[in-house]
């Protein structure tokens, strides 16, 4: 019988090869073995849940991904000290997933707690604070709250020097979406969309760049946004 470490390595290899369904099968095996080895409430089991959730997300099964990530979060909370960095990272990721599905009643309190925990652990200017801030900004856009969106994206962009460019691009994109709601801010919305497009292109994220370009085009023509 393969060891947990061997199964985890196999998952990594298959995932990098794009063989996601196969990787998911072995990730489930690794989860079963982790439970048998450590019991139900252990960080190793939580990590196994995260691996399954990540693969489900990459396979486009968002609800399944949220189910497994939520399970990991509960396990981290029950087996680690309060607001441990592993909990905080998982909470930030889950809040982001929930916000993208429009489940902001769940996303906002989780993101707010993750933000407090991250800043308490890493300082007020913690770069990783950007991730719960993105979830909060996504929900502010969904509410049509432009001032709140701009305040949140400004905090993210203030951390730009320490962030992956993808994160800064996402912040510009949310800013563009918020600003397009006010025709008087059309030039600002176009500038934000252009910034997002440039950053996405620079990172080779062509699908995201096309979405930003489409948003930019609607600002120029006055057509309905995508």
- Residues near 75 by beta carbon (within 8 Å), at least 6 away in sequence: 40, 41, 42, 43, 45, 46, 49
Cα separation values, 214 from 16, 176, 193, Å: 31, 12, 9
> Does residue 161 surpass a pLDDT of 90?
no
Would you state the pLDDT for residue 82? 86
- Whether residue 226 has pLDDT greater than 80: no
pLDDT band at 220 (very low <50, low <70, confident <90, very high): low
- Please check whether residue 34 is in contact with residue 48, taking contact to mean a CB–CB distance below 8 angstroms: yes
- HSE-up of residue 92 (Cα within 13 Å, Cβ side): 21
Average per-residue pLDDT in the chain?
Answer: 92
What is the CB neighbour count within 10 angstroms for residue 212? 24
Closest CA to 20 of 8, 29, 12, 30: 12
In terms of pTM, does the model score above 0.95? no
The rounded percent of the chain whose pLDDT value lies above 70 is 96
Q: For 3-36, write each residue's pLDDT tens digit.
A: 888 998 999 999 999 999 999 999 999 999 999 9
């Amino acid at each position: 019988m393969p060891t947990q470490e061997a199964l985890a390595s196999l998952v990594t290899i298959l995932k990098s090869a794009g063989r996601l369904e196969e990787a998911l099968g072995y990730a489930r095996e690794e989860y079963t073995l982790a439970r048998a080895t450590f019991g139900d409430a252990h960080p190793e089991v939580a990590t196994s849940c995260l691996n399954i959730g990540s693969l489900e997300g990459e396979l486009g099964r968002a609800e399944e991904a949220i189910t497994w990530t939520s399970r990991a979060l509960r396990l981290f909370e029950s087996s680690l000290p309060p607001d441990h960095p592993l909990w905080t990272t998982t909470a930030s990721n889950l809040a982001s997933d929930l916000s993208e599905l429009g489940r902001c009643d769940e996303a906002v309190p989780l993101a707010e707690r993750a933000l407090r925990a991250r800043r308490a652990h890493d300082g007020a200017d913690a770069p990783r604070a950007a991730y719960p801030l993105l979830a909060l900004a996504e929900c502010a856009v969904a509410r049509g709250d432009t001032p709140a969106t701009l305040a949140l994206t400004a905090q993210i962009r203030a951390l730009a020097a320490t962030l992956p460019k993808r994160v800064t691009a996402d912040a510009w994109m949310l800013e563009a979406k918020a600003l397009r709601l006010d025709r008087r801010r059309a030039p600002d919305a176009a500038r934000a969309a252009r910034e997002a497009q440039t950053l996405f292109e620079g990172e080779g994220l062509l699908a995201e760049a096309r979405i930003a370009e489409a948003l930019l085009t609607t600002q120029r023509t006055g057509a309905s946004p995508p």
